[in-house]
Structure 1
Amino acid sequence: MALALSQDILDALTDVQMPRLEAEPGALETLTVGEHTMPVYRAQAVVIGSGAAGLRAAVEMKRRGLDVTIISQSAWGGTSACSGSDKQTLHTANTKDQGDDFQDMAKSIRAGGAMDEDTAYIEAVGSIRAMASLQYLGLPLPQDDLGGTLRYQTDHDEVGRATSCGPRTSRLMVKVLAEEAIRLGIPFYNHTTAIKVLESDGHVCGVLAMRPKQMDDANPLGLAVYTCDKLVIAAGGPGELYRDSVFPNGCFGTLGFALEAGLELTNITESQFGIGTRREGFPWNLSGTYVQVIPHIYSVDEEGVEHHFLADYYRTTQEMASNVFRKGYQWPFHASRMLNFQSSLVDLAIFREGEKGRKVYMDFNRNPLPIPGDLDFGVDRLDDDVSTYLKTAGADHDLPIDRLKHMNPLAIELYKRYKVDITKDPLEFAVNNQHMNGGIAVDTWGRTNVPGIYAVGEASGTHGATRPGGSALNAGQVFGTRVAEHAAANTAMVSNETDMAKAVLHAVEDFNSAASEDVALSIKSVRDEVQARMSDHAGILCTPTAVSTALGDARKLNAKIRKYGIATSRKNETVRAVQWQQMALASEAVLTALDEYISAGGGSRGARAICDPNGDSLPESVRGLLHDLRFRAERDEDKGEQITVRLTGDSFVIGRRANRPFDESAKSFFERDWPAWLTGAIFK
């Protein structure tokens, strides 16, 4: 019997209406540089981005008395508001079933390596406060009749620290935080794209932005200046970096923007890839119950012939079906799970079907076809962990669609909103890029290497090589709060008007030299080249030669951009030209770091298999050993450090640093440690 939920309940958790923004405050002054007379907006702090992490930082700074302004390329248009999965996860301490030791939780968060130990502990201990404050704002996290938060197991999580409001969890987070920001009267400037950091004597003094709706004869490019002494970068990850992507369209992130500002990046070798529907239709991750109900997965070639391609990889129907199920909580591709007929063999098989030019589908109205010569599929013939889960959930229905209706009807409703009815039609999907685990390097307060600049959310590089599912949402809330605490404790103004004006002049000069209307390079050609190179050579399967060649080609592209610029046929394309210039730069940075990692002998971890004929790990399928996929295993020593990247002139400087440690034996003592809190010494 399917779970009985009224349409009102389904609608409320699926059609999450975002609040209407208040009118933007006007500029009280202007600044003229060359042919540009631009408005100037003043604040103590500016937040770039309107996702869950940026809104948290803005709300917490306002609550602490800071004059803060939010600028956003597209309000409610980023990954927090538009992306998700079947029951999108918020990862927090498990206080319901067994209690939690924050040190144990920190170990789980950093278990994948390349993550600072102190950061992991901060995320663990801060998770209770983050969740409670979201509940206070109205986030409808599910509870049992005694008030305990309902939990489940997710990626890289054996304890069960995941909770969810359903597929729109992060959108609901954005909604309640946005409503609080509006209630607090925080100015919000929409359709505003940050393009250059303004600095004075090595300290941030503002940001130059573009606002196409303010273009006029006196300001032909719609430039605007936002002065501040605290700048929070929270504009998400580089979703446009890959052709095969589950990011919403237009998610550029700020890696190139940060590199041009002299910010150090870390761990940009680390991303997440997994199955999902592409952004050409409705981009969504197909984790959780979408695969736990075990639909039939097949491909269709150019002649329209169906292929039961998973039968070329798994030995038995039970093994195949059980590993399709495990994609629910082992969603990201992981090289080691290609071994011994584990769940990432599913990703590999899907990826290779795509390379053949075939389209891949999951059909919720059919159970998996059997492996030839083996028994038919049956819910009573599954591995013990799979069988136990389905029985506990009461999902022993005959067909996948009925199991899905019982376990998670919201997963069906969501696609209906985008004219896809999975109760009737198969769902096309692929292996896509989903998340950047690296980003801007920050310390325990979210500070970057440039004084006054902070980074939070996916823009920051705090997540390590792998992470428990949903821990990114928690990290953004925890560090959004810590950034606000630090910024409020350090409010001294450091810039002056003369320095600010000089910084604007230099930024506009650089900007004008980069923009051109009569060159060979077009926005489309740069986009197609960058995305194809990253998807084809820096996806889940990498080889040393292909990465090295891709890096050389990326360098050539950026040399052309520096020499000729990117063409624009009309003024309102200029912001896109700047974004693709910065994205090309980010692509070269990622390939530089990846080439360094592979050249130094780095092995397969997180998102990528480093394929090498001399590798020590060899996947196999039912048809035999997959010699072309022999890969290097991850080295333990690589888990203890991070690769850093910084732009100097036109070249990248690569470095390595050890993960910051955390002393698990250290004990706090109230009377001894309280003065550091009272005096603000903890912020130093």
Structure 2
Amino acid sequence: MTIDVPQEILDALTDVDMPRLPPEAGPSATARLAGVEVPIYRAGCVIVGSGAAGLRAAVELKRRGDDVVIVSQSAWGGTSACSGSDKQTLHTANTADQGDNYRAMARAIRSGGAMDEDTAYVEAVGSSRMMASLQFLGLPLPQDPLGGTLRYQTDHDEVGRATSCGPRTSRLMVKVLAEEALRLDVPFYNQTTAVKILTEGEGGDHRIAGILAMRAGDRTQENPLGIALFVSGVIVLAAGGPGELYRDSVYPNGCFGSLGLALEAGVELVNLTESQFGIGTRREGFPWNLSGTYVQAVPHIYSVDGEGVEHHFLAGYYRSTQELASNIFRKGYQWPFHATRMLDFGSSLVDLAISRETAAGRRVFMDFNRNPLPVPGDLPFSLERLGEDVRLYLGKAGADQQMPIDRLKHMNPLAIELYRRYKIDIAAEPLEFAVNNQHMNGGIMVDTWGRSNLAGCYAVGEAAGTHGVTRPGGAALNAGQVFGTRVAEHIGASGRAKRAASVSIPAAAEAGIADLLTALRAESALTVKAIRSAVQARMSEKAGIICDQESVAQALIEARKLNAEIRASGVAYGRAAEAVRGVQWRHMALASEAVLSALDFFIRNGGGSRGARAICDADGESLPLASSGPLEDYRFRRERETDRNEQIVVRLEADEIRLSTRPNRKLDENEKSFFERDWPAWLTGGIYDRDTKEQA
């Protein structure tokens, strides 16, 4: 049996049109600062980023009567609106029939280690409210006839807390939240790139004063770069992750995030060693994760060398056709690379094999019109000869069709339809792919209300470093929605954003603009192209899924040298649009040094392999095996249990990266709320000061 879904339904779930933005409000005034005629905009709160997390914060703030504006480099152009997978996952609490409860979900979210226990519980307990509110706004999450949400198992998920609207789940989230934000008259400033956070005060009085941006719409003869000043005592960083950090990346083009921007302002970052890598199509074509049913259909995977000769390379890694095919399938719910899954002929051996092929200059393809070829000397592929977990799943799904394309069409026709939208017909031709960087699990260090160490500065979504080493698939979408709401609640309770900031122009504004003008120099030998090439090659080749102490240390030396050159010589630009990219690549170079500093610190202090990376070491305890023999070059250190209990903190002091560690915040699972005792803290706003002193 094949599912027969009408074309108009497939169209609605793949071609998701975004709302049109209204005309922008003009500045309240202009001022001459550092020789530039600068427009002044004022707001109670400025949200940087227009993805799902930023929109959630904006909607919740506006509902509470706060004065909020959104600034966006490219509305509907980030990862929330443009990225996904076969049936992109939203991770929320399940029902008791799966043995679920919020504490169990919190334990699962933080199970990889290096994650605050209270944060994991916040994400778990907030997930039900988050999902219900998205459904209220119109998100079409699937239900059974009695109203239960349909669920499935995803990576790092043993209970089955995943649900999905299809490949465009996060884009549909952006759509319903954007429509609500526009209905509430939240002002948008599009083509507006935040380039410098302004602060005032020292020590404990250090706080947000505003933010400088560069806007195409504000370019004039007196302001050729379009520099604009947003005066506000509250900002929410929601600009996503540093997608441009890696050459081999599944992020959409132009995703810079805000890590360098935050570091420059004295904001502390955490867990920068932790990312996700996995198989996907590269952004040079149509960037997309190849998890879920793409691999659960069990296609044939092969490589092609420079002479056009095909290589059945996985046959050199697995001992039997059954083992090979079963591990292709398991990439569906074990999608991210994980070092330990290279052992015992596990599913991450697939990632290692693909990575080695591409490093050798071969192109790797997935063919849905062929079943996996047999391992030489073994029986051919058969649906009857697969791992027990694989046979049970395909049996329940009714995926007994002869060819992978028919199994995929039966299980998830949207997966095929989506690529067709981008003129790639995987039903007719093989699909080229690689192992790519996909998500930053670290980011800005925040508390349980989304506050950073800088007063008035919050972070949500991928910008926030709330994830630990691993996380269940879809937990990031959940975290962005939960913390978008938490941030709005905290800002609303403080009363600091009820009206647009009326303070005078911050003293830091003129110095900030002067700094930008100094950093951008027409005569500099350092071009955006040169910086991009150096950063991306270094990160992909030295800080990808395979690392070693010597290579990371050398990469860090090179990253420090590049940043010293940028500080000394600035970044070259021609047109004004190149100036924006110049600032962004200055930030990206700084973020690269921060990531490499944390990774070098971790490895030098004996850190082992976990999550995103295998830390290779000739004396390592773990040795991956292939059918062709031991893979000695990939012998790696085991993870130390003690490292799960702490996080690496990164900060910038006088142009130098400083590193320290802190223990994970704990959650007392025996502590239980009591209505009469705890209600007054809610009524008086006492809950907002529970963990940290209120920042004025």
Query: Given the two structures, how large is their TM-score scaled by the length of structure 1?
Result: 0.99
2:42–2:500 contact (8 Å) kept in structure 1? no
Alpha-carbon offset, residue 496 of structure 1: 8.3
Alignment partners' CA distance in 2, 1:559 and 1:481:
40
Which residue in 2 is equivalent to 1:600?
A: 605
1:199–1:500 contact (8 Å) kept in structure 2? no
Q: Aligned to 2:544, which of 531, 535, 539?
A: 539
Which residue in 2 is equivalent to 1:139?
A: 139
Alignment map for 1:523-562 (pairs within 5 Å): 523-562=528-567
Alpha-carbon offset, residue 188 of structure 1: 0.3
- Residues 424-478 of structure 1, C-alpha deviation per residue, up to 9 Å, x if partnerless? 0000000000000000000010000000000000000000010000000000000
Alpha-carbon offset, residue 26 of structure 1: 1.2
Which residue in 2 is equivalent to 1:678?
A: 683
SS at match of 1:501: coil
2:231–2:506 contact (8 Å) kept in structure 1? no
SS at match of 2:230: strand
Alpha-carbon offset, residue 324 of structure 1: 0.3
1:539–1:608 contact (8 Å) kept in structure 2? yes
Q: Aligned to 1:580, which of 582, 585, 605?
A: 585
Q: Aligned to 1:349, which of 347, 353, 371?
A: 353
1:615–1:630 contact (8 Å) kept in structure 2? yes
Alignment partners' CA distance in 2, 1:213 and 1:360:
43
Alignment map for 1:106-117 (pairs within 5 Å): 106-117=106-117
Which residue in 2 is equivalent to 1:35?
A: 35
- Residues 599-651 of structure 1, C-alpha deviation per residue, up to 9 Å, x if partnerless? 00000000000000010000000011111100001000000000000000110
Q: Residue type matched to 1:670 in 2?
A: F
SS at match of 2:70: strand
RMSD between aligned residues? 1.1
Alignment partners' CA distance in 1, 2:458 and 2:553:
32
Alignment partners' CA distance in 2, 1:28 and 1:134:
35
Alignment map for 1:53-132 (pairs within 5 Å): 53-95=53-95, 97-98=97-98, 100-132=100-132
SS at match of 2:302: strand
1:448–1:454 contact (8 Å) kept in structure 2? yes
Which residue in 2 is equivalent to 1:447?
A: 451
**Number of residue pairs aligned between Structure 1 and Structure 2:** 684
Alignment partners' CA distance in 1, 2:230 and 2:218:
14
Alpha-carbon offset, residue 226 of structure 1: 1.1
Which residue in 2 is equivalent to 1:196?
A: 196
1:200–1:499 contact (8 Å) kept in structure 2? no
Alignment partners' CA distance in 2, 1:659 and 1:499:
40
Identify the range of structure 1 (509-518 vs 328-337) with the bigger mean alpha-carbon deviation: 509-518
Q: Aligned to 2:512, which of 493, 507, 512?
A: 507
1:200–1:495 contact (8 Å) kept in structure 2? no
Q: Aligned pair in 2 of structure 1 residues 495, 8: CA closer, same or farther (>3 Å)?
A: closer
Alpha-carbon offset, residue 492 of structure 1: 3.9
Which residue in 2 is equivalent to 1:314?
A: 318
Instruction: Indicate yes or no: 2:406 matched with 1:402.
Output: yes
2:74–2:192 contact (8 Å) kept in structure 1? yes
Q: Aligned pair in 2 of structure 1 residues 169, 497: CA closer, same or farther (>3 Å)?
A: closer
Alignment partners' CA distance in 1, 2:151 and 2:119:
23
Alpha-carbon offset, residue 97 of structure 1: 3.8
Gaps of 5+ in 1: none
Alpha-carbon offset, residue 500 of structure 1: 3.4
- Residues 242-278 of structure 1, C-alpha deviation per residue, up to 9 Å, x if partnerless? 0000000000000000000100000000000000000
Which residue in 2 is equivalent to 1:626?
A: 631
Instruction: Indicate yes or no: 2:245 matched with 1:241.
Output: yes
Which residue in 1 is equivalent to 2:342?
A: 338
2:47–2:58 contact (8 Å) kept in structure 1? yes
Instruction: Indicate yes or no: 2:223 matched with 1:205.
Output: no
Alignment partners' CA distance in 1, 2:382 and 2:466:
43
- Residues 190-247 of structure 1, C-alpha deviation per residue, up to 9 Å, x if partnerless? 0000011111222112110000232111211101111112100000000000000000
Alignment partners' CA distance in 1, 2:616 and 2:492:
48
Q: Residue type matched to 1:395 in 2?
A: A
SS at match of 1:430: strand
Alpha-carbon offset, residue 499 of structure 1: 6.2
Alpha-carbon offset, residue 570 of structure 1: 1.9
Alignment partners' CA distance in 1, 2:501 and 2:96:
52
SS at match of 2:636: coil
Alpha-carbon offset, residue 506 of structure 1: 1.3
Alpha-carbon offset, residue 423 of structure 1: 0.5
Which residue in 1 is equivalent to 2:426?
A: 422
2:43–2:501 contact (8 Å) kept in structure 1? no
Alignment map for 1:290-329 (pairs within 5 Å): 290-329=294-333
SS at match of 1:618: coil
Q: Aligned to 1:266, which of 263, 270, 279?
A: 270
SS at match of 1:542: strand
Which residue in 1 is equivalent to 2:693?
A: none
Q: Residue type matched to 1:310 in 2?
A: L
Which residue in 2 is equivalent to 1:378?
A: 382
Alignment partners' CA distance in 2, 1:602 and 1:48:
34
Gaps of 5+ in 2: 690-696
Alignment partners' CA distance in 2, 1:478 and 1:526:
36
Q: Aligned pair in 2 of structure 1 residues 487, 360: CA closer, same or farther (>3 Å)?
A: same
SS at match of 1:253: coil
Q: Residue type matched to 1:205 in 2?
A: A
Alpha-carbon offset, residue 96 of structure 1: 7.0
Which residue in 2 is equivalent to 1:50?
A: 50
Query: Given the two structures, how large is their TM-score scaled by the length of structure 2?
Result: 0.97
Alignment partners' CA distance in 1, 2:631 and 2:70:
51
Alignment partners' CA distance in 2, 1:188 and 1:284:
28
Alpha-carbon offset, residue 501 of structure 1: 3.3
SS at match of 1:337: helix
Alignment partners' CA distance in 2, 1:567 and 1:296:
47
Alignment partners' CA distance in 1, 2:46 and 2:412:
40
Alpha-carbon offset, residue 513 of structure 1: 1.2
Q: Residue type matched to 1:672 in 2?
A: R
Alignment partners' CA distance in 2, 1:592 and 1:674:
45
Q: Aligned to 1:648, which of 650, 653, 657?
A: 653
SS at match of 2:647: strand
SS at match of 1:500: coil
SS at match of 2:650: strand
1:102–1:121 contact (8 Å) kept in structure 2? yes
SS at match of 1:566: coil
Alignment partners' CA distance in 2, 1:555 and 1:650:
10
Alignment partners' CA distance in 2, 1:456 and 1:439:
10
Alignment partners' CA distance in 1, 2:353 and 2:328:
12
Q: Residue type matched to 2:655 in 1?
A: D
Which residue in 1 is equivalent to 2:694?
A: none
Which residue in 2 is equivalent to 1:165?
A: 165
Alignment partners' CA distance in 2, 1:430 and 1:571:
35
Alignment partners' CA distance in 2, 1:42 and 1:137:
29
Q: Residue type matched to 1:588 in 2?
A: E
Q: Aligned to 2:281, which of 272, 277, 284?
A: 277
- Residues 11-41 of structure 1, C-alpha deviation per residue, up to 9 Å, x if partnerless? 0000000011111111121121132111111
Which residue in 2 is equivalent to 1:465?
A: 469
Alignment partners' CA distance in 1, 2:503 and 2:171:
42
SS at match of 2:87: coil
Q: Residue type matched to 2:133 in 1?
A: S
Alignment partners' CA distance in 2, 1:492 and 1:192:
24
- Residues 547-566 of structure 1, C-alpha deviation per residue, up to 9 Å, x if partnerless? 00000000000010000011
2:113–2:470 contact (8 Å) kept in structure 1? yes
Q: Work out the percentage of aligned pairs sharing the same amino acid.
A: 68
